[in-house]
Amino acid sequence: MSQIERIVFINRTIEEAGGVKTAHIMREFSLSRRQVLRDIEFLRDQLKAPIEYDAEKHWYRYTESFTLFSNSNERMLVLNAIFRSLAQSQGLMGALTEMISEGIDSGVEKSYRSLSDKIVFITPVQDWPDYEIFNRICAAMKSGERMTMHYKNANGELSRRHIEPLRLINYSGRWYLVSYDLQHKELRTFHLSRILDLSRISGDRMKERYSDAELDAFIHSGYGIFMGKEVTYVTFRVYGWAINTLATQTWHAKQKQRFVKEDGQDALEVTLPVANLHEILSALLFFGPQARALAPPEFVNLYNQAVENMQIRIKTPL
């Protein structure tokens, strides 16, 4: 049994019963008293748990409120479901995957493990990377060498780029490469499936341009995969069935939402940072007449124009 499973068991027992006896842990995991005391020491010294021995009740308890892992079993079950789903969608199911899955399950209490196959995570879109391209990018990032890339954009236009590969990202089931584009002298995001060819420039070393914190800020700056330092805060409202759908979704960590009344009708108003207006536009159009753009003016105009164009296409006979 793994130590994390024992730690989770000790913590949950204290939370539910008020304390835990060493004999209880020894029976549960077939451990010696010395091994149990090592786990308690780890909980106290490494995880900073306020745990002490209560001589009156002959058990260990917390002296103050302490949260180790809130809903730890449930979180681990969700993590395993996500892992297995992604592995299966990528064609990676096998002995190694099963070993990793079992490793995740080892952090779940025994009574919960039977639920592992009953929790399913499904992603609607999942593209497989070209593993040869993936391998070359990883090799270049490891060696710190620049690369030459032949790329086809969304409009089918071909280009040849010199790049410094920095991050590989899976966003909404699709793989992207964040690189420093030496021609445009800025960070760019490329769809991995549109990379036609890629090769390292031997001996041409990358420069230390960005810290990890700066790259993280770039990646998480705004909604969507078209990332950038410059973001625009957009505001929109949704109505009817769209309220319940969007109220439980988090499109960005910095989004704000509030329930309002508009002409006596319930509405949910959402504000969030966006790096590319066209990407949030596509997401908002999904809600059809149950959505309306509010700000900024350029987003409102973009949204209204898209709706108008859709109406024209519907009315125009083929």
**Predicted pLDDT at 250:** 82
Q: How crowded is residue 178: how many other Cβ atoms within 10 Å of its Cβ?
A: 21
**Predicted pLDDT at 55:** 94
User: Before 296, cis peptide (omega within 30)?
Assistant: yes
- Contact indicator for 265, 307 with CB cutoff of 8 Å: no
**Predicted pLDDT at 14:** 92
Q: CA 191, CA 170: separation in Å to the nearest integer?
A: 10
Q: CA 308, CA 281: separation in Å to the nearest integer?
A: 13
The string of pLDDT tens digits covering residues 152-185 is 987 889 999 999 999 998 887 788 999 999 999 9
Q: CA 230, CA 148: separation in Å to the nearest integer?
A: 27
**Predicted pLDDT at 315:** 63
- Contact indicator for 170, 125 with CB cutoff of 8 Å: no
- Contact indicator for 149, 190 with CB cutoff of 8 Å: yes
Q: CA 262, CA 246: separation in Å to the nearest integer?
A: 17
**Predicted pLDDT at 196:** 94
Q: Where are the beta strands (DSSP E) in the chain?
A: 51-54, 59-62, 145-152, 158-171, 174-181, 186-191, 195-205, 232-239, 256-262, 265-274, 291-295
Taking alpha carbons only, the member of 78, 144, 85 closest to residue 107 is 78
The string of pLDDT tens digits covering residues 259-273 is 999 999 999 999 998
Q: Where are the beta strands (DSSP E) in 35-185?
A: 51-54, 59-62, 145-152, 158-171, 174-181
**Predicted pLDDT at 52:** 95
**Predicted pLDDT at 318:** 53
**Predicted pLDDT at 173:** 74
Tens of pLDDT, residue by residue, the chain (318 residues): 578 788 888 988 998 899 999 999 999 989 999 999 999 999 999 888 999 999 999 999 999 988 776 566 777 788 788 787 777 766 666 776 777 777 777 667 677 777 877 887 776 666 777 889 999 999 999 999 999 999 998 788 999 999 999 999 888 778 899 999 999 999 998 999 999 999 988 888 999 999 988 888 888 777 666 556 578 899 999 999 999 988 888 888 889 999 999 999 999 999 998 888 888 898 899 899 999 999 999 999 999 999 888 877 666 655
**Tokens (6 digits) for 68:** 């180790």
Q: CA 89, CA 136: separation in Å to the nearest integer?
A: 22
Q: Tell whether the torsion through CA atoms of 90, 94, 97 and 102 is positive or negative.
A: positive
